[in-house]
Amino acid sequence: MSGHRLQDALETLKSTRVRMTPQRHAILEFLFESMTHPTADDIYKALEGRFPNMSVATVYNNLRVFKEAGIVRELTYGDSSSRFDSVTSDHYHVICNECGKIVDFHYPGLDEVETLAEHVTGFKVLNHRMEINGICPDCQTKAKQH
């Protein structure tokens, strides 16, 4: 499944004339296979063994290129570093308060919220983000063992 989406992303990049390099390919592959919403730093750590000349800044710049091409989404969290999502269709996130893991889940889009927000505030609404916080199954198990 992830192989299919990766292939689509590669096609999209080709059509936007983004030059494919081994580094870019590896970053994309990691993003699409891990499904963990990694930070640029996570990706850097996972790939530095294969690309000794790569820096976190390089990873970040590549992610920006992917974002502009519309194949990844950036999730910003205030002052902490951004996480990157290879699923660009609408979905919601549940976040573990203990380990910070982000898991996707699907729920009918809450379009009414946008309409209402537009109505009440006069904003031109572009999108919305809903996040559920909790403790993931792994962390629940860990807590029980202590």
Binding residues for Fe cation: 128
Residues 17, 23, 25, 31, Cα dihedral to 10°: -120
Among 19, 10, 63, 73, smallest CA distance to 41 is for 63
Q: How far is the CB of 131 from Zn ion (least distance, A)?
A: 10
Integer Cα distance of 11 and 61 in angstroms: 20
Q: Indicate if the alpha-carbon torsion angle 62, 68, 73, 79 is positive or negative.
A: positive
Q: How many residues bind Zn ion (CB under 5 A)?
A: 9
Considering only residues 78 to 107 of the shown chain, the ones binding Zn ion according to CB under 5 A are 85, 87, 96, 98-99, 101, 104
Q: How far is the CB of 142 from Zn ion (least distance, A)?
A: 8
Q: What H or E segment, with its residue span, contains residue 127?
A: none
Site string for Zn ion, 18-57 (x = CB under 5 A): ----------------------------------------
Extract the annotated binding site. 96, 99, 128, 136, 139
Site residues, Zn ion (CB under 5 A): 85, 87, 96, 98-99, 101, 104, 136, 139
